[in-house]
Amino acid sequence: MTDKKLWAGRFNQPTDAFVEAFTASVEFDQRLADYDIQGSIAHATMLAKQGMLSEKERDAIIGGLERIRQRIANGDFPWSVALEDVHMNIEAVLTEDIGDAGKKLHTGRSRNDQVATDVRLWLRDEIAAIQAEIRRFQLALVELAEREADTILPGFTHLQTAQPVTFGHHMLAWFEMLQRDHGRFEDCARRMNQCPLGAAALAGTTYPIDREYSAELLGFDAPCANSLDAVSDRDFAIEFSAAASILMMHLSRMSEELIIWSSAQFGFITLSDSFCTGSSIMPQKKNPDVPELVRGKSGRVFGHLMGLLTLMKSQPLAYNKDNQEDKEPLFDTVDNLKGCLKVFADMVPEITCNAEAMRQAALKGFATATDLADYLVRKGIPFRDAHEVVGKAVALCVQRNCDLADLSLEELRAFSPAIGNDVFDYLTLEGSVAARNHTGGTAPEQVRKAIARARGLLA
CA distance 272 to 44: 53
CA distance 110 to 199: 8
Residues 6+ apart with CB under 8 A from 73: none
How many of the other CB atoms lie within 10 Å of CB of 186? 13
**CA end-to-end span of the chain, whole Å?**
51
SS3 94: helix
CA distances from 47 to 44, 51, 97, 134 (A): 5, 6, 20, 40
Instruction: Decide if 398 contacts 405 (C-beta within 8 A).
Output: no
How many of the other CB atoms lie within 10 Å of CB of 165? 26
Partner residues linked to 352 by β-bridges = 270
Q: Which of 54, 263, 279, 438 is catalytic?
A: 279
Q: Give yes or no: 416 in active site.
A: no
CA distance 175 to 185: 16
Burial class of 50 by CB neighbour count within 10 A (0 to 12, 13 to 18, 19+)? middle
Q: Which of 158, 280, 314, 408 is catalytic?
A: 158
282: left (phi over 0), alpha (psi -120 to 50) or beta: beta
Instruction: Decide if 433 contacts 443 (C-beta within 8 A).
Output: yes
Burial class of 208 by CB neighbour count within 10 A (0 to 12, 13 to 18, 19+)? exposed
CA distance 397 to 374: 19
Q: Give yes or no: 158 in active site.
A: yes
User: Catalytic positions, please?
Assistant: 158, 279
